[in-house]
A and B are shown apart, each in its own frame.
Chain A
Amino acid sequence: MTLRTLLATTVALTFVGQALAQDFNDPAEFKKQREQLSMTPQGPEDQPWAQHLGDGMADTAKYKKEGQVTLCFSNAGVFNPWRVVGLNNLNAEAELHKDRLKELIVVDAEGKDDKQISDIEALVSGGKCDALIVSPNTTAALTPAVEAACAKLPVIVFDRGVNTSCPVTYIHPVGGYGFGITSGEFIASKLKKGDNVLALRIMPGVDVLETRYSAAKNIFDEAGINVVGSEFTGSDRAKTKSAVEDYINRGEKIDAVWMDAGDTATAALEAFEDAGLPYPVISGEDQQDFLRKWQSEKLTAIGPAYPTYQWRTAIIAALDVLDGKQVPGPEWVLPQPAITEDVLTKYIDERMPPLHYSLCGCQELPGYPERWGGKE
């Protein structure tokens, strides 16, 4: 064991940066999001995608445009199932507005900042767009391009933000701290002081994911719960399962698994099955496969969400802006519910594929369920 620590520290010490500053631990933001989680949303009931938290509204009279309009959407990419579901939501929402919408132009940046900047420039210079929706790949990188676009036409940003207030509104659910708070508090409530939790994360350095972890970590530290490890899995099921197996093989006692995203939650649970161990307390997300497993295995679990229905909101907001209607702004904060045992059954739909995000708000949209890969 000493050798191991020695080796690890030597290597770690060679790289200065290692244990240094975390920019993702902002107590003010943590507090704000904790409050937002318990706030009552305004807007139509049963339509969380049209609700908002807080009071700010943005005036959009100057963008009013009669007749049919063209919306342009610069997408960061469809490199994970969350974005796939989201893009389907967005397309389906657009179909609801056929009368008003002449065309929806979707341009995919394949996860490349450089390409997304060029894409936005081309959309703006193309002159076809009446409003621009942007789902930025990286906050800082896209800021100048969005700023340039704002000068020409109304811009709506969602999911990740930009470092400028020029867009008409920025749509997002409560946020990463909120996600971490919901899941962290649930696990803390089920565990005793001194129990072990294993954190499984997708990748380092992404703000919306880092904040989830820092919030949960704060809560675990406060509750005296021991984080035995934090592993990056790259959303890879095999890596997730292997990582958990490694901890099990090392003889670590794992009482709970905390995840910053739920797409590999069932893989993590399988590691316990294969080792013949009881299931741990687990926080996942709103994916169907996790919810079904939760139901069938009677897990102690929670499914916090970063709802994909925000992709619907983007279209709604853009059309409202072109109608000259007031929209929540400069930030449109959507409610961020979590799935708990009480409401679990409501969110399970056997027709849907395993990685369908249940909080899509898409059940009433045209093409459900086939558009989302579900069975008739």
Chain B
Amino acid sequence: MTTDRMKPKPGLPVAVLLAGLSIGFFVVVALATGETAQLSGQGIAGLLQRMVALGLVAIGQTFVILVGSIDLSVAALISAVAVLASHVMQGDPAMLLPAVLLCLGLCAAVGFVNGALVAYGGINPLIATLGTGLVIQGVLAASFGALQGSVAREFQIIAYGGVLGVPYSLLLLAALSLAAAFVLDRTLFGARIYAVGGNPDGARLAGIRTERVILSAHMVASFFAGAAGLYLAARLQSGTPWIGRDGIYDLESIAVTVIGGTILAGGKGGVAGTLAGVLLFASLDAGFNMLGIDAFLKQVLRGAIVIAAVAVHAVRTKGHVA
């Protein structure tokens, strides 16, 4: 215990710092390339819209990482939800609600299986969720021929509609972020998540049913992945079995969560940092576009930035990291 005693760090919280840097980068690039239109309300809305899908997944990922687990199945689940939503709706607005409910049911089931494997089965979460992800991906690709369809026009309002120039999708992200932050900070469930992630044995001895908390966190992650899937279905009109995988939502959501200061061991971090991490990725996307950096170089830079961003706060860690 004496070894990891750390004085609280002075200075700005990770989230504020990271968000500031991201916005700074975006503004500087826009000015330097003369793309000042990107600094207009519409441009900023466009920048923020790049956050929505990854942001939703990453908030869910934050819950599981905080509780000391991890979820690699989100990418496959996103695809599954998007495909299911468009298949059930078949463009018919009357099927909107049933489709959404069915998708949420699927998320509940996947989250439950993940959580049960991890919490009750004692299977390493990386392996358990990698496994469920593969299962979902396989079933999805195999049955894709039969699962064609597209979502209702009305449903696409989520992705394309807005009020006073603010897209609904941003409002959705904001609302769900606030809700998630509220849950983590102000509710019993949130406190239990930090307890189980910070010290599982201690939490159990304090009478917390740790398995249930882990299971619930996995269900939350699945619901957020589902929300991302529904948003993508609305934005893309119909789901394909590859949108989750092509978006690399599994690894990217983990990366932004860790960049945002949530530690992989669990018990420390939060939604604000994660959103700042997502903002960093969105600014990089938008900035690299303005700079006209080619796709391969972009990948190199992104890799270097992921390492650097995590190293900035990890390097102060006392003790060992593997």
Contact = CB atoms under 8 A, between A and B. Distances in A.
The reply, when asked whether chain A contacts chain B directly with Cβ atoms under 8 A, is yes
Interface of A: 15-18, 20-23, 77-78, 105-108, 110-115, 117-119, 121-122, 125-128, 138, 140-141, 143-144, 204-205
Interface of B: 35, 37-38, 40, 42-43, 46, 49-50, 53, 139, 141-148, 150, 156, 160, 232, 235-238, 240-243, 246-247, 285-286, 289, 292, 294-296, 298
B236 A122 contact: no
Contacts of B35: 126, 128
24 contacts: A16-B146, A17-B142, A17-B145, A18-B145, A22-B145, A23-B145, A108-B295, A111-B246, A114-B53, A114-B232, A114-B235, A117-B236, A121-B46, A122-B286, A128-B37, A138-B236, A140-B150, A140-B237, A141-B237, A141-B238, A144-B160, A144-B237, A204-B145, A205-B241
Contacts of B40: 125
Given A122-B46, A125-B43, A140 B37 contact: no
B46 A118 contact: yes
A105 B292 contact: yes
Contacts of A204: 141, 144-145
Contact of B139 (A15, A23, A78, A113): A15
A23 B50 CA distance: 32
Contacts of A140: 150, 236-238
Contact of A126 (B37, B53, B142, B241): B37
Contacts of B38: 122, 125-126
A118 B50 contact: yes
B49 A118 contact: yes
Given A17-B142, A204-B141, A110 B292 contact: no
A136 B140 CA distance: 23
Nearest to A12: B142
A138 B240 contact: yes
B319 to A, nearest CB: 37
Nearest to B52: A114
Contact of A77 (B139, B235, B238, B295): B295
Given A122-B43, A144-B156, A108 B238 contact: no
Given A15-B142, A113-B236, 5 more contacts: A16-B146, A20-B146, A112-B247, A122-B286, A125-B42
B146 A18 contact: yes
Contacts of B236: 113-114, 117, 138, 140-141
A138 to B, nearest CB: 6
Contacts of A20: 145-146
Nearest to B243: A113
B89 to A, nearest CB: 13
A122 B36 CA distance: 12
Contacts of B294: 108
B282 to A, nearest CB: 9
A113 B239 CA distance: 10
A121 B286 CA distance: 11
A140 B90 CA distance: 13
B161 to A, nearest CB: 11
Nearest to B30: A126
Given A18-B142, A112-B247, A122 B289 contact: yes
B238 to A, nearest CB: 5
A107 B146 CA distance: 34
B78 to A, nearest CB: 10
B295 A78 contact: yes
Contacts of A15: 139, 142-143
Contacts of B43: 122, 125-126
A78 B150 CA distance: 27
Given A126-B37, A140-B237, A140-B238, A21 B145 contact: yes
A367 B103 CA distance: 52
A366 to B, nearest CB: 18
B176 to A, nearest CB: 17
Contacts of B243: 112-114
A231 to B, nearest CB: 14
B86 to A, nearest CB: 9
A138 B298 CA distance: 22
A72 B50 CA distance: 20
B132 to A, nearest CB: 16
A17 B143 contact: yes
A125 B46 contact: yes
A16 B50 CA distance: 36
B268 to A, nearest CB: 30
The 4 closest A-B pairs by CB, nearest first: A17-B143, A17-B146, A141-B236, A20-B146
A18 B49 contact: no
A195 B128 CA distance: 45
A127 B37 contact: yes
B141 A205 contact: yes
Contacts of A127: 37
A144 B40 CA distance: 22
Nearest to A22: B145
A108 B292 CA distance: 9
A122 B232 CA distance: 18
A286 B52 CA distance: 41
Contacts of A110: 295, 298
B51 to A, nearest CB: 10
B302 to A, nearest CB: 10
